[in-house]
Structure 1
């Protein structure tokens, strides 16, 4: 199975468990690997036959704008479900990082895999 990549996609959203975090937007940085067979798209040079990373990136931005979660884990889990359903993605690996959450770390976050390759 081939994989479409989206790396270091930055989105701003309301995320965090502390009261002060509930009234501001914070940046999350996402990396995605999305399983697909690119051969039909490559054969016909047809965007409609592959995973459109521009459309997926736009949907992620909309998702981040529409939701406010306490946990990065919840953000990742819910986003993975939306992407798999709306784009018919059989398998994905999603890494969500929250830069600056811990002063002595560049970022904290989670990496999840859902579906089957």
Structure 2
């Protein structure tokens, strides 16, 4: 199956970072998700109940990262990927987390992981 559901540019405000000052403020993270999902059924039925609920996935991304308050983006990515796979039955996903402004000369820094079997 090559079908995917995309969520791109989801902004989550949370505590993130390893420096003392970073643990006292919130910063934006930008999340991109590509998730394997069989879109044939919702494509045929036109029923939202058959689709991967990207509003619910987006809300879960936000609550997960806000509760986690990760020091490292790598940790945030691993915990988030597992939560999404477990809670929504996603067999494969590609997840990118970017931290804008972390390096003054870069637009953003970040990590990207793939988990599961497509």
What TM-score range do you get, normalising by the shorter chain? over 0.9
Structure 2 unaligned runs (5+)? none
Equivalent residue, structure 1, for 2:61: 60
Task: Provide runs of 4+ in structure 1 moved above 3 Å.
Answer: none
Alignment partners' CA distance in 2, 1:40 and 1:12: 34
Equivalent residue, structure 1, for 2:30: 29
Normalized against structure 1, the TM-score is what?
A: 0.97
Choose between structure 1 and 2: higher strand proportion: 1
Structure 1 unaligned runs (5+)? none
Alignment partners' CA distance in 2, 1:44 and 1:24: 45
Count of paired positions: 117
Normalized against structure 2, the TM-score is what?
A: 0.96
